[in-house]
Structure 1
Amino acid sequence: MDLGTLFEFAVERHPQFETLIQGNTRFTYREMNVEVNKLTSALQDRGIRQGDRVVVVLKNRLEMVILYWAVQKIGAIFTPINFRLSPEEIKYCVQDADAAAVFYEPISEKTVLEAVKDLQIVKISVLGAQGADVSYEELRVNGTGQFDRPVIHDDDICLMLYTSGTTGRPKGVPRSHKNEYGAAVAHIIQNQYEVQESTLGVMPLYHTMGMRSLLSMVFLNGKLVMTPDYVPQSLLEVLEKEQISCVYLVPTIFHDLVYHKDFEKYNLAALRKVGYAGAAMTEVLTAEIFKKLKPRVFVNHYGCSEVYTFSYCNYLDKKAGCAGKPGFHQNLRVVVPDPEGNSTPDDLVPPGVPGEIIVDLRTSEAFQCYWNRPDATQKALRGGWYFTGDMGMLDEEGDLFVLGRLDDTIISGGENIHPLEVEDVIAKHPKVAEVAVTGLPDPRFGEIVTAFVVPKDPTLTEEELDCYCKESNQLSNFKRPRKYVLVSAIPKSPVGKILRRKLRNGECQELYLKRESAS
């Protein structure tokens, strides 16, 4: 079964249901299918064929959704990348993908044109962006809606996501129709979604979380409300106006919503199912979501672009921050960590001992290999298991707790310290808005635990934080930060992951720096 066919099934099942909304523009399934078919025929007329990579450098807007489904009907490969990338990064992705076409809009016009100026590629603009061979609007007007439907198999590649590349060049992750179908089904089951749900299109469509929202809504004849520009108050307005029933967001967005000064003005009674992924959530924020949103379903989803689901937890009221049990299609283990990639799937660690999380590759959600990167494939895929590079620990009940990246582990005085357990303690301080912990070089200890803190109250001091950590019964003394840096913001990726390398490199704005605490 291919995704384009599944989209058409949804159209035939409930053609009158609303499916795609942005501002004052609203499409039913029937109306969107007309738009998709116009674009499909026009792309074929422009020479886009089955298997071609179509790079997309757009914000989350309705044109991107329509383009996604058109690409699926052709049997081409939808290749979205972050519109904030530099010209060099865009050029790398376009060349690595050997793309046939690139879509861009005004915000990405300058970088895309610079990136592809020496490349043979069809340039297609959206919303009046300049320098294109043809515009999206021209394709739409000229498209006949008649196209040649290729034979598409479920193991054909339909999507290529590029990883964030925090430790080097981004890696292309090719995903088949089977992979994407399996991930969508798992997402629906694990979040307890039903027919005609509605959600926000706020998570980037160049990220696996955005793709889950897109596909799950179509499979259930649901409604996707696109929000090209992220403004917390605008999201609150859309949540109320559109009676959104479920959301799947990063913790940062949940934080911005529930702590918004006007939160209490909005009626969010329709919002009964919430889920998060992409980063850890503090116990404090978890409790605030339960208190203010009162969700019927609250899920922590743990996974990645390569293998959508590792695990999920829907009992966060009992175990805040827990990643829970293996997903619907999944099995997992925790093994002896080895940054050199020499550990095997049988090198298990006992409950309560940190190790590297690995997941079974027999799931329908798992990719087969990285694009043009046999070296990365060989390191990550071993013995039928995907080595995630994440540190985790199983408790006595078999529940997983994620501790951070293997290369984020702080080694101080020979002790392994995982940032998340320190962050979770500091985040409970009433004067702390956000915190990120990493290791900074130290001549004596190798690294010292360093906490970068965004104050909620300007009177917050280093001494106050250090006393708080000393008095905590959740934090061993050797894990206590030896240095505190008060900053205006924590650097994060577009999907909310803390960029610890930027903290280690000093790429943050200090508010003021107190002296180091006594050891």
Structure 2
Amino acid sequence: MTDVTMLNRVAVGDILRRSASKNPQKTAIIIGEKKISYEQLNEDSNRFANYLIESGLQKGDTVATICGNSWQMIVAIFGIAKAGLVWVPINPGVSFNEKCYILSEVKAKILLCDEVFLQGKKEEYESMCQELLLIGDGVAPAEKFEHTLAHPHANEPEVELHDRDIVQIMFTSGTTGTPKGVVINHQAVFIASLANVIEAGMNKNDVATLMMPVFHCAQHTLVTSFIHLGATIVIIPGFEPEAFMKTVEKEKITWMFGLPLMYRAFLYHPSFHNYNLTSLRYCLYAMAPMDKNTLEKGINELTCDFALGTGQTEMYPATAVFKPEDQLRKSGSYWGTPSLITDTSIMGENGKLLGKMEVGEIVHRGPNVMVGYLNNDEETERMREYGWHHTGDLGYFDEEGMLVFVDRKKDMIKTGGENVSSIHVEQALVSHPKVLNAVVIGLPHERWIEAVTAFVLLKPGESATKEEIIAHCKENLGSFQVPKEVLIVSELPTTTTGKIQKHILRKNYQGLYSNQQV
């Protein structure tokens, strides 16, 4: 009987091989002045895969990375997949103890780390794995990641792979406790990234940014999507508005992904009109809603499409897209329409699926659902109660069947007998012309139970009083939604992907109202 393993497999490493076979000399990666062709990227990934196998690693073993965005990181991601191993990206920004916890939890065989992230812990990291490979200028040749690319075999290793084999384990931020390892198979990454090509209007001629951290699911899935197509990816190691605009002009970037805060930073930059940004045709944003003023300015002055993508590590993105044609037609926290590979419903109590305009938990089904949480069967089962994946997000479908996000279940503020969506208040705040970013939480209050509290970051060079901000909110919100207090701050606690860490604000300001009645 014919072995169909190679005939009908779905495997992440195959994505790069196929694009390299069709576009060998096309530029795959640009970083600074360095350019890497698809042929070279594929061969380097094969060499790393063969190195890993010859190092004694077996199918299913784990290779962890503590890295920023780099060409080496892309080579490693695909090399790990080609070898039938499991990639474990670790956020460089988490504590050393959390890094140690993750390395121990996954029993990492090899660790790839940027030298800058060692922070004097080299010996500790070496003790936790079979081999430590480093990226950086001050690294001895024998320890350098690049020495693995001198492996004599550039052909792809013959590894039996199946679509349900594990390809990566990504850990959640752990903001409410111990971080959870999200186990993801080849099928989820392959199909979700392929669906993005259609949903986000990508094409083979695109020149796309890699600006958000590739260790995060959102940027990783987009990189994979563009490699499906054989497009060109420009790695931008850190965001600075003017440097970013120079890169767009130089490389003629057509497709970008960034946070709303990033769009505001360059669209309102004093040098905005000094650069030719006409190559941009598609601008994706995520993690937070875009205020109407910035959205209109971006669409009108860049004359390109804007879209919002949503998803989560447990439900490989994108799960929904708020598309260009709806951006200015609909106002509010719209997530748009579910991805073509995703079933989305709204669930109420006891598993009941709700109708249009009824608020409940957003739940999904599809091939991009995680395998489960690593070593946590109880939590895995809780997340798939009633046969749906539970997101922890509240939302509803409007009259047209478009998905609207209300809030995270844990972020809904209960104040004076009313439920207030923190997202709704944040949207009102960022619509103020002087506000760069804002976050809203509920804090304990003797009278209100939870008091709506706003933390506001002003645009550079701007000044405003809390009374001015509150007056603006009174014009745009219901009386029970207006913040009881506005704190103007110089910075907001964020993750490396730009998400506001509301739990830190709750902890730091827990006693704000303990001696006052507002």
Report the TM-score when normalising by structure 2.
Answer: 0.91
1:156 positional shift: 0.9
Query: Residue 34 of structure 1 corresponds to which residue in structure 2?
Result: 43
Q: How many residues align?
A: 502
| Bigger Cα displacement from structure 2, 28-37 vs 419-428 | 28-37
Q: 1:355 aligns with which of 346, 357, 360?
A: 360
- Counterpart residue type for residue 442 of structure 2: G
CA contact (8 A) 2:141 2:147 kept: no
CA contact (8 A) 2:65 2:112 kept: yes
Please list the CA deviations of residues 420-451 of structure 1 after superposition, one character each: whole Å capped at 9, or x if unmatched: 11111122222222211111110111110011
1:418 positional shift: 0.8
Secondary structure of the corresponding residue to residue 334 of structure 1: strand
Query: Residue 470 of structure 1 corresponds to which residue in structure 2?
Result: 474
Secondary structure of the corresponding residue to residue 178 of structure 2: coil
Give every structure 1 segment of 4 or more consecutive aligned residues whose post-TM-superposition deviation is greater than 4 Å.
128-133, 516-519
CA contact (8 A) 1:50 1:76 kept: yes
Query: Residue 305 of structure 1 corresponds to which residue in structure 2?
Result: 313
1:261 aligns with 2:270: yes
Q: 2:281 aligns with which of 255, 269, 272?
A: 272
Q: Distance in 1 between matches of 2:282 and 2:458?
A: 30
Query: Residue 483 of structure 1 corresponds to which residue in structure 2?
Result: 485
CA RMSD in angstroms comes to 2.4
Q: How does 1:427-446 map to 2 (within 5 A)?
A: 427-446=430-449
CA contact (8 A) 1:16 1:30 kept: yes
Please list the CA deviations of residues 266-300 of structure 1 after superposition, one character each: whole Å capped at 9, or x if unmatched: 111111011122222222322222122221x3221
CA contact (8 A) 2:30 2:235 kept: yes
Q: Distance in 2 between matches of 1:468 and 1:277?
A: 25
Q: How does 1:329-478 map to 2 (within 5 A)?
A: 329-336=341-348, 343-348=349-354, 350-360=355-365, 363-456=366-459, 458-472=462-476, 475-478=477-480
Query: Residue 88 of structure 2 corresponds to which residue in structure 1?
Result: 79
CA contact (8 A) 2:20 2:42 kept: yes
Q: Distance in 2 between matches of 1:100 and 1:452?
A: 43
Q: Distance in 2 between matches of 1:93 and 1:517?
A: 43
Q: Distance in 1 between matches of 2:181 and 2:120?
A: 20
Secondary structure of the corresponding residue to residue 102 of structure 2: helix
Query: Residue 5 of structure 2 corresponds to which residue in structure 1?
Result: none
Secondary structure of the corresponding residue to residue 453 of structure 2: strand
- Counterpart residue type for residue 317 of structure 1: L
Please list the CA deviations of residues 56-80 of structure 1 after superposition, one character each: whole Å capped at 9, or x if unmatched: 0011000000111111211111111
Query: Residue 228 of structure 2 corresponds to which residue in structure 1?
Result: 219
CA contact (8 A) 2:82 2:157 kept: no
Structure 2 unaligned segments of length 5 or more: list them.
1-9
CA contact (8 A) 1:309 1:330 kept: no
Residues 502/344 of structure 1: CA separation in 2 closer, same or farther (3 Å cut): same
Q: Distance in 1 between matches of 2:55 and 2:93?
A: 27
Query: Residue 218 of structure 2 corresponds to which residue in structure 1?
Result: 209
1:200 aligns with 2:206: no
| Bigger Cα displacement from structure 2, 452-461 vs 273-282 | 452-461
CA contact (8 A) 1:437 1:450 kept: yes
CA contact (8 A) 1:19 1:28 kept: yes
Q: Distance in 1 between matches of 2:256 and 2:232?
A: 12
1:145 positional shift: 2.6
Secondary structure of the corresponding residue to residue 323 of structure 1: strand
Query: Residue 253 of structure 2 corresponds to which residue in structure 1?
Result: 244
Report the TM-score when normalising by structure 1.
Answer: 0.91
Query: Residue 79 of structure 2 corresponds to which residue in structure 1?
Result: 70
Identity %: 27
Query: Residue 340 of structure 1 corresponds to which residue in structure 2?
Result: none
CA contact (8 A) 1:482 1:517 kept: no
Q: 1:163 aligns with which of 172, 178, 196?
A: 172
Residues 133/16 of structure 1: CA separation in 2 closer, same or farther (3 Å cut): closer
1:160 positional shift: 1.7
Residues 120/329 of structure 1: CA separation in 2 closer, same or farther (3 Å cut): closer
Q: How does 1:497-516 map to 2 (within 5 A)?
A: 497-506=499-508
1:179 positional shift: 0.6
Query: Residue 241 of structure 2 corresponds to which residue in structure 1?
Result: 232
Residues 49/132 of structure 1: CA separation in 2 closer, same or farther (3 Å cut): farther
